[in-house]
């Protein structure tokens, strides 16, 4: 999952949308689906994920997830997409 800035609930009609990456997350899908179905939720579009799961899945900019460790070169390349807001 790549995420950019959150802009709130506004229309995007007529707005430009530069490609900006603020964070990268890696979820183990079977584990996530099992967790969600255990809560009685059906995984799909716009499924709400609890903050502690997001935090644990982050691989950039903070390396919280040991499933994939980025190299310094990869982190530097992702940094090129930070934007200037």
Domain boundaries, the chain: 21-41+49-85
The H-or-E segment that residue 78 falls in is helix 72-79
Helix, strand, coil share of the chain (percent; to 5):
30, 10, 60
Residue 19 CA to residue 27 CA, distance in Å, equals 22
Digitized pLDDT (tens) for each residue of the chain, 85 residues in all: 777 777 666 666 777 777 888 899 999 989 999 988 898 888 777 778 889 999 999 999 999 999 999 999 999 999 999 876 5
Residue 29 CA to residue 52 CA, distance in Å, equals 16
């Amino acid at each position: 999952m790549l995420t950019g800035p959150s802009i709130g609930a506004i229309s995007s009609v007529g707005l430009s949308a530069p490609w900006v990456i603020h964070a990268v997350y890696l979820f183990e899908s079977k584990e996530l689906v099992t967790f969600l179905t255990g809560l009685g939720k059906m995984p799909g579009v716009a499924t709400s994920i609890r903050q502690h799961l997001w935090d644990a899945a982050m691989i950039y900019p903070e390396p919280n997830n040991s499933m994939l460790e980025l190299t310094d070169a990869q982190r530097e390349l992702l940094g090129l997409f930070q934007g200037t807001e």
